[in-house]
Amino acid sequence: TDDQNEIQDAVDVNIDDAGGNFTATEVEGALTELAASNAANTTAISNILSPIVAGKIDATGTALSQFNITSVVPGGTGVYTVNFADLGSTNYVINTSVESNGTNDVIINVSAVTNTSFTVEIKEVIETPMPYQDSNFDNITIPTTEINPIDKNWSFTIFNF
């Protein structure tokens, strides 16, 4: 038979691992090591990318769905404090979203971040036209902007890398 076209089992084929990535000297062993390494890496990555605290909160401060929340405390119109177990630092990432009211813009801000809680403030941006007469006595409209607290449904996730 022609040695170059011979069918061989992976255990019979040796590898030259110049990079020193495997302890195995044959292909089958290297593939087994690679599979085990990828399984460990996949677990580590999934642990990093899984939220450690999450929830959907309604306008009254009630958790509609939650993961690892100990309590939600309303603190006035548009203000909510979320409490949870100690994360060991304040270097976690908080992603937030707020439901639109379809008319005006709604913004959500995070403040008062601690190891065990954070506070959000939800506000509605209202623009109304105001008539004005300029120095040439031309009638123009100038928009005025109000930013007011509002109770809205909102959600969040916390990741701690």
Average of per-residue pLDDT across 43-49: 58
82 or 2: whose pLDDT is higher?
A: 82
CA dist 53 and 107 (Å) reads 21
User: How is 46-90 classified by DSSP, letter by letter?
Assistant: HHHHS-SEEEEE-TTS-EEEEESEEEEEE-STTEEEEEES--SSS
Average of per-residue pLDDT across 132-136: 86
Q: Which residue in this structure is represented by tokens 């971040």?
A: 113
Residue 111's pLDDT is 96
Does pLDDT of 23 surpass 90? no
Q: How many residues does the chain have?
A: 161
Select from 96, 90, 70 the least CA-distant residue to 156.
Answer: 96
Q: Which residue in this structure is represented by tokens 């990318």?
A: 49
CA dist 108 and 123 (Å) reads 6
CA dist 61 and 57 (Å) reads 6
Does pLDDT of 26 surpass 70? yes
Amino acid present at 18:
A
Residue 95's pLDDT is 96
Band (135; pLDDT cuts 50, 70, 90): confident
154 or 51: whose pLDDT is higher?
A: 154
Question: Exposure pattern of 73-99 as b/e (b: 16+ CB <10 Å)?
Answer: eeeeebbbbbebeebeeeebeeeeebe
